Structure 1
Amino acid sequence: MPPAKCLRMRLSGTSLLHIMAAHSPLSAILAEEAGFDGLWASGFELSALYGLADMSLISMTQHLDTLWAIAGRTTLPIIADIDTGYGNAINIIHAIGEYERAGASAVVIEDKTFPKVTSLAADGRQELLRIEEFQGKIEAAVTTRQDPDFLVIARTEALIAGLGEAEALQRAHAYVDAGADMILIHSKKRDPSEIESFSRAWTGPVPLVIVPNAYPDLDAERVKALGNVCMMIYGNYGIRAAATAMQETFRRIIADGGVQNVHKDILPVEEIFRLQKMREVKAAEARFLR
Structure 2
Amino acid sequence: MQNQSQQSVPVSVSDSHADSSRTEMLRAEICSSSELSFLMEAHDGLSAAIAESAGFKGLRASGLSIASSLGYRDANEASWSQLVDVVERIVDSTTLPVLVDGDGGFGNFNNARLLACKLRQRGAAGIALEDSCFPKTNSLIGERHPLVDIDEFSGCLRAVKDTVGQDLVLVARIESLIAGHGMDDAISRAHSYADAGADAILIHSRKSTADEIFSFVHAWQNRLPVVIVPTKYYQTPASAYRKSQVSTVIWANHAMRAAIAAMRRVCHRIFTEETTASIEPNIATLDEVFELLRYDELARAEARYLRLS
Equivalence for 2:120? 100
Q: TM-score, normalised by structure 1?
A: 0.96
Deviations 1:220-255 (A, max 9, x none): 21100102x111011010100111110111111122
| Count of aligned pairs between the two proteins | 287
Separation in structure 2 between the aligned mates of residue 198 and residue 49 of structure 1, nearest angstrom: 33
Query: What is the 5 A alignment of 1:1-290?
Result: 2-10=21-29, 11-121=31-141, 123-146=142-165, 148-227=166-245, 229-289=246-306, 290=308
Quote how far apart the aligned CAs of 1:204 are. 4.8
Deviations 1:42-100 (A, max 9, x none): 11001111222100011111111111111111111100101000111111221111111
Separation in structure 1 between the aligned mates of residue 181 and residue 143 of structure 2, nearest angstrom: 14
Separation in structure 1 between the aligned mates of residue 302 and residue 271 of structure 2, nearest angstrom: 39
Q: Which amino acid aligns with 2:24?
A: K
SS at 2:176's partner residue? coil
Deviations 1:100-158 (A, max 9, x none): 1111111000001100000011x243000111101100111111114x25211100100
Quote how far apart the aligned CAs of 1:194 are. 1.0
Separation in structure 1 between the aligned mates of residue 285 and residue 222 of structure 2, nearest angstrom: 50
SS at 1:159's partner residue? helix
Alignment check: 8 A CA contact 2:190 2:201 kept: yes
Q: Which amino acid aligns with 1:263?
A: E
Separation in structure 2 between the aligned mates of residue 136 and residue 287 of structure 1, nearest angstrom: 52
Alignment check: 8 A CA contact 1:173 1:204 kept: no
Percent identity between matched residues is 39
Alignment check: 8 A CA contact 1:8 1:149 kept: no
Find runs of 4+ consecutive structure 1 residues off by over 4 angstroms. Answer: none
Deviations 1:162-202 (A, max 9, x none): 11111111111111111111000000111111112111221
Separation in structure 1 between the aligned mates of residue 108 and residue 121 of structure 2, nearest angstrom: 20
Per mean C-alpha deviation after superposition, the further-off stretch among 2-11 and 108-117 is 2-11
SS at 1:160's partner residue? helix
Cα RMSD after superposing both structures: 1.3
Separation in structure 2 between the aligned mates of residue 86 and residue 264 of structure 1, nearest angstrom: 44
Q: Which amino acid aligns with 1:29?
A: A
Quote how far apart the aligned CAs of 1:277 are. 1.2
Structure 1, unaligned stretches of length 5 or more?
Answer: none
Separation in structure 2 between the aligned mates of residue 9 and residue 90 of structure 1, nearest angstrom: 28
Alignment check: 8 A CA contact 2:199 2:224 kept: yes
Quote how far apart the aligned CAs of 1:284 are. 2.2
Per mean C-alpha deviation after superposition, the further-off stretch among 201-210 and 280-289 is 280-289
Q: TM-score, normalised by structure 2?
A: 0.90
**Distance change in 2, residues 1:84/1:69 (3 Å):** same
Alignment check: 8 A CA contact 1:118 1:124 kept: no
Q: Which amino acid aligns with 1:170?
A: S
SS at 2:247's partner residue? strand
Separation in structure 2 between the aligned mates of residue 165 and residue 39 of structure 1, nearest angstrom: 29
SS at 1:108's partner residue? strand
